[in-house]
Structure 1
Amino acid sequence: MAVSISAVVLLGIVVFVLIRDGSVRLLPALACAGFGFFLASTGAAPVIRNAIGAVTGWISSI
């Protein structure tokens, strides 16, 4: 749970900076957020969650 909250905060900051910088416009950012929201309710969510868990576990072991 702590990893997912940290990832949400980190990705939120990245999106905010990209929108503020002008690299990404607001509408495409909202489309990506909507895509992620609906992707979380599909069968791909556990695979993505496991992959992120494996990467964070690998990084923490360094």
Structure 2
Amino acid sequence: MAVTIPLVLLFGIALAVCIRFKAVGFGVAVLAALFGFYLADTDARTTVNDLTTAVTDALNDARP
């Protein structure tokens, strides 16, 4: 029996651990970029795009 784990899940877990332990460096930046690229290929891209658009619109409307 083979168990498959999506690469985006592994990148997400690794990025969460790095952020939790405040391990910031070049490697974490590369990991975050790879996580973003792999996340863009999933079904979550529309949700992430909608959330980003809503946040930027809210911040833009809050400006005096």
> Shared fold by TM > 0.5?
yes
Deviations along 1:14-60, one digit per CA (max 9) or x if unpaired, are xxxxxxxxx72111211111011110111001001001111111111
Equivalent pairs counted in the alignment come to 40
TM-score normalised over the length of structure 2? 0.55
Gaps of 5+ in 2: 1-22
Equivalents in 2 of 1:61, 1:36: separation in Å? 27
Q: Provide structure 1 residue ranges, at least 5 long, that are not aligned to the other structure.
A: 1-22
TM-score normalized by structure 1? 0.57
- Matches for 1:32-51 after TM superposition, within 5 Å: 32-51=32-51
State the distance in 1 between where 2:60 and 2:27 align. Answer: 35
Once residues 59 and 36 of structure 1 are traced to their aligned partners in structure 2, the CA distance between those partners, rounded to angstroms, is 22
Structure of larger gyration radius: 2
- List structure 1 segments (4+ residues) > 4 angstroms apart after TM superposition: none
Identity %: 32
Cα RMSD between the aligned structures?
1.3
